[in-house]
Structure 1
Amino acid sequence: MVDLRSRTHGPGAMRAVNLVVMAYDDRVVAKTEDEDTLHYLDARVHPGDRRAPGQISLALVSKKDGRSTSGHENSARYSAEQLASIQRAAGDNTASLRDAAGRIVGTVYGVRADLLIHDGAVVLNTKTLAGMELSVGADAEGRDIRAQIVASTRAARRARDAAQAQTPRLVEELALR
């Protein structure tokens, strides 16, 4: 899960965050007529946001889940009205989510919002939604937004692992002095 603590990013670390919201078509729970339809949305900090560098995960939510192929569930529950607000705020800053076979399986929305904690999950405050300048489309290298997220977190993991590998040598060098 992304680290948005103020001691890491300064005051207001959870305000005006550039976000990638992935709405998969099969993550909808239709309720009865008198109940709201629920959408399970996967929201992540955009890799171009100032808080993204160095993060080994950009997901707002990360719960262990044995049924998931990754071993983690990254979705939080939003109402149909909240999804509609996200769609309006994103405007044209959208992209199709495709599976490995190239079939469209959902939509990606790019928005800016303040974040809050609700039921133990970090979620978008849909009352503070706005459009954002960072695109959720393919980058100059042709990578879709999910590939950009993977590249960002992979680079952070490599840097962390390199720093950890160097730490024992530094300790040893200091001990020899």
Structure 2
Amino acid sequence: MKKIELKNNSLLKDIVTLLNLIIVGYAAILVFLTILSVISYTGLSDRLGIKLNVQFLPSVDFSNWWSIIAFVINLLTASLTIYLIYLARNFIKNLIGGKIFDSSNTQLADRAWKVFLALTFLSVKVAASGNPIALPFSLNASMSFTPLLGALIIWLMMKILEKGIDIAEENEFTI
């Protein structure tokens, strides 16, 4: 069986480069859309003479505080997704650097399962109704189980890594 060398693996290096591009691109798009939607809804675009109608999410009205909460929840969800990709990139960089059973990997896994858990509960969608007779917002509280499963898998991997670190430390002391 051929042993795979992680330090000189060009595929892992290409994956890190791709993840860097995804992080920068996704963050730039998120910042750009946030700025455009704030400019659009504050009326600044009308004062500048620009026809601009950007909706980061449907029926957002910044005069309604439920819409602001929905906007912030969507921004938080997108930001946590970027952070999760960043954690995966750091984990792969540790593998390339030869740090497999290292405490930094368990710290990354600890953060990752917590982000997955937060994304499970942030799948709740809040949107402003815009109807003065109905409730000022609609709440779709369907919890997504995919991030919950991801959180469980990452947590189990973290526990296996912790046990591997303990075994590696015991082996160092016996030699």
Class of the TM-score when normalised by the shorter of the 2 chains: 0.3 to 0.5
Of Structure 1 and Structure 2, the greater strand share is in 1
Using the size of structure 2 for normalisation, the TM-score is 0.32
Of Structure 1 and Structure 2, the greater helix share is in 2
Find the structure with the greater CA-based Rg.
Answer: 2
